[in-house]
């Protein structure tokens, strides 16, 4: 994964405590990175959805790139208003909602 220059938060990499911005279940930074790199498309979509819903701006880009978010965008579980905002920020023409709520 390529990190966006200037958005590296090394203190997140050193922590092995659960990340505070994922309320569903305890996930450490290394677990999140592994999930994003090796997980199923559904698992990666879950993780990116949580980042876009709950993480701070710099935290998001520490874990994913714009292209990774765009690649999973159709599968992300986001409220309609937030989906529209992210679609505008990422310059995505269409912002289809996932076919099923998980």
Which residue pairs from 87-90 have beta carbons closer than 8 angstroms and sit at least 24 positions apart in sequence? 90/66
Q: Which of 44, 85, 86 is nearest to 68 (CA)?
A: 44
Domain parsing of the chain, residue ranges? 17-90
Phi and psi at residue 92, to the nearest 5°: -95, 125
pLDDT tens-place string over residues 47-58: 999 999 999 999
Q: CB under 8 Å to 67, separation ≥6 — which residues?
A: none
pLDDT tens string 39-85: 999 999 999 999 999 999 999 999 999 999 999 999 999 999 999 99
Higher pLDDT, 22 or 95: 22
Q: Which two structure tokens, joined as six digits, stand for 42?
A: 């559904």
């Amino acid at each position: 994964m390529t990190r966006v220059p200037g958005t590296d938060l090394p203190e997140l990499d050193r922590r092995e405590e659960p990340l505070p911005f994922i309320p569903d279940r305890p996930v450490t930074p290394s677990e999140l990175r592994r999930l994003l790199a090796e997980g199923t498309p559904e698992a990666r979509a879950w993780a990116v959805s949580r980042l876009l819903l709950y993480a701070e701006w710099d935290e998001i880009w520490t874990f994913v790139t714009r292209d990774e978010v765009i690649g999973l965008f159709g599968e992300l579980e986001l409220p309609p208003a937030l989906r529209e905002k992210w679609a505008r920020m990422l310059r995505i023409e269409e912002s289809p909602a996932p076919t099923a709520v998980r």
